[in-house]
Amino acid sequence: MKRLGIIISGRGSNFEAIARNIRAGNIPDAEIAIVIANRESAAGLEIARELGLKAICLPSKGIDREAYDAQLIGELNDHQVDLVCLAGYMRLLSPPFIRAFPMRILNIHPSLLPAFPGLDAQHQAFEYGVKVTGCTVHFVDEHLDHGPIVLQAPVDVLPTDTAETLSSRILAEEHRIYSEAIRIVLSGRFRVEDRRVILED
């Protein structure tokens, strides 16, 4: 059984989709070992507890990044986590954290990277006027929203869209591809050549 550690900051809908896909048997041989939020107000903590999962808050406010990340590493190791999934975690990770889990950290980002990294990617794309945007699941490296891409899904921008309607269609695709990317990574049926993740399925 592969053990996932999920790190969130807020709503937790991507985490919930992963948890429900594991329950439905769509991510074989996986279990969620721990859910960690860096804010007490993260709604995802309550969702995790309702699902009967271990969920803790490690408040990050006012703590130096490396000291905080050392706490995260400690919790993840204590729970023998094989794969770390960032699911709406809104802090940068320090290089020691990345080195503690080499090619074992995934992130979901609500744009087709490398377009629109950083905060509010859906609004950035909407305001830029692109016709197609989407979402990306990628391995995390030491740069923001940058590591090798596992999966992407495109989403058309419609003439009738607002940033909110566009965001909700992107979110539906996030919920789909994050679980699929986790399934692929846990299966080990891929190889990485430079930046290219080559799927062997």
Residue 171 to residue 165: CA distance in whole angstroms: 10
Binding flag, residue 121, ligand GAR (CB under 6 A): yes
Binding flag, residue 108, ligand GAR (CB under 6 A): yes
Catalytic annotation present for 143:
no
The contact pattern for ligand GAR, residues 17-56, with x = CB under 6 A and - = no contact, is ---------------------------x------------
Q: How far is the CB of 14 from ligand GAR (least distance, A)?
A: 3
Nearer to ligand GAR, 10 or 148 (CB): 10
Interface stretch with ligand GAR, choices 12-20, 29-37, 65-73, 184-192 (CB under 6 A): 12-20
98 secondary structure, DSSP code? H
Contact between residue 106 and residue 182 where contact means Cβ atoms under 8 Å apart: yes
Any idea which residue has 């566009």 for tokens?
Answer: 166
Backbone angles phi, psi at 125, to 5 degrees: -65, -45
Selected binder of ligand GAR within 4, 5, 7, 12 (CB under 6 A): 12
Q: How far is the CB of 136 from ligand GAR (least distance, A)?
A: 9
Residue 22 CA: distances (Å) to CA of 25, 78, 130, 147: 5, 22, 34, 25
Residue 176 to residue 4: CA distance in whole angstroms: 17
Nearer to ligand GAR, 32 or 77 (CB): 32
Which residues, other chains included, contact 99 with Cβ-Cβ below 8 Å and sequence gap of 6+?
none
Length in residues, the chain: 201
Helix/strand/coil for 132 = strand
Binding flag, residue 176, ligand GAR (CB under 6 A): no
Contact between residue 135 and residue 173 where contact means Cβ atoms under 8 Å apart: yes
Binding flag, residue 147, ligand GAR (CB under 6 A): no
Helix/strand/coil for 32 = strand
Selected binder of ligand GAR within 83, 100, 110, 151 (CB under 6 A): 110
Selected binder of ligand GAR within 69, 141, 173, 174 (CB under 6 A): 174
Selected binder of ligand GAR within 11, 65, 123, 146 (CB under 6 A): 11
Binding residues for ligand GAR (CB under 6 A): 8, 10-14, 44, 87-88, 108-110, 121, 145, 171, 174
Q: Which residues are identified as catalytic?
A: 109
